[in-house]
Amino acid sequence: MNNIRRSKGEGSVYRRADGLWVAQYAGEEGRRQYIYSRTRSGAVDALRSRRADSPSDALRSGDWFERWLDTYIKPSVRQRTYVAYSGEIRRHIIPALGRIPLCELDTASLQQFLNDMLSSREDGRAGGYARSTVSHVRTRLISSLGMAVDQGLITKNPARGLRMPPPERAEKTVFTPTQQRQFEQAVRRTLNAHPNNMALLLMLGTGLRAGEALGLRLCDIDLDARSLSVRRTVGRVSIPGEGCAPFAVGEPKTRLSRRTLPLTDRLIADLRAFVDRRDALISASEQSWRLRAGFDPRWLDEGALFITTRGGLMDAPNLRRALAAIEQSEGLPRVGLHGLRHTFATRWVENGLDIKSLSELLGHSDASLTLNIYTHSLPEQKRACMDKLARLLE
Q: What does the H/E/C string look like for the chain? A: CEECCCCCCCCEEEECCCCCEEEEEECHHHCEEEEEECCHHHHHHHHHHHHHCCHHHHCEHHHHHHHHHHHHHCCCCCHHHHHHHHHHHHHHHHHHHCCCEHHHCCHHHHHHHHHHHHCCCCCCCCCCCCHHHHHHHHHHHHHHHHHHHHCCCCCCCCCCCCCCCCCCCCCCCCCCHHHHHHHHHHHHHHCCCCHHHHHHHHHHHHCCCHHHHHCCEHHHEECCCCEEEECCEEEECCCCCCCCCCEEEECCCCHHHCEEEECCHHHHHHHHHHHHHHHHHHHHHHHHHHHCCCCCCHHHHCCECCECCCCCECCHHHHHHHHHHHHHHHCCCCCHHHHHHHHHHHHHHHCCCCHHHHHHHHCCCCHHHHHHHHCCCCHHHHHHHHHHHHHHHC
Give domain limits for the chain.
Answer: 2-53, 61-150, 177-383
Contacts of 320 (CB under 8 A, 6+ apart): 210, 336, 337
CATH number of 61-150: 1.10.150
pLDDT in single tens digits along all 394 residues of the chain: 444 444 444 446 778 888 888 877 665 544 567 788 888 888 777 776 665 555 555 689 999 999 999 999 999 888 778 888 998 999 999 999 999 999 889 999 999 999 999 885 444 443 478 888 899 999 999 999 999 988 878 888 999 989 987 766 666 789 999 999 999 999 999 999 999 999 999 999 999 999 999 999 999 999 999 999 999 998 887 665 555 667 888 877 677 788 999 999 999 999 999 999 999 999 999 999 999 998 999 999 999 999 999 999 999 999 999 999 999 999 999 999 999 999 998 898 888 788 888 888 888 877 777 777 765 556 666 677 777 777 877 7
Distances (CA, A) of 274 to 148, 153, 190, 192, 288: 53, 58, 12, 9, 22
Return contacts of 250-255, CB within 8 angstroms, 24+ apart.
250/78, 250/79, 250/80, 251/78, 252/212, 252/363, 253/209, 253/363, 254/363, 254/364, 254/365, 255/365
Cβ-proximal residues to 127 (8 Å cutoff; 6+ apart), any chain: 120, 121
Topology classification of domain 177-383: hpI Integrase; Chain A (1.10.443)
Q: CB–CB of 56/103 below 8 Å?
A: yes
CA 264 to mean position of chain CA atoms: 30
Q: What is the pLDDT of residue 100?
A: 92
Tell me how long the chain is.
394
How far, in whole angstroms, is CA 315 from its chain's centroid?
18
pLDDT at 56: 52
**pLDDT of the residue at 13:** 76
> Sign of the C-alpha dihedral, residues 82, 83, 89, 95?
positive
Cα 182 from Cα 119, distance rounded (Å): 42
Q: What is the pLDDT of residue 122?
A: 45
pLDDT at res. 8: 43
Cα 199 to chain centroid, rounded: 21
The angle at the Cα of 191, spanning 185 to 193, to the nearest 5 degrees, equals 130
Q: How far apart are CA 370 and CA 253, in angstroms?
A: 15
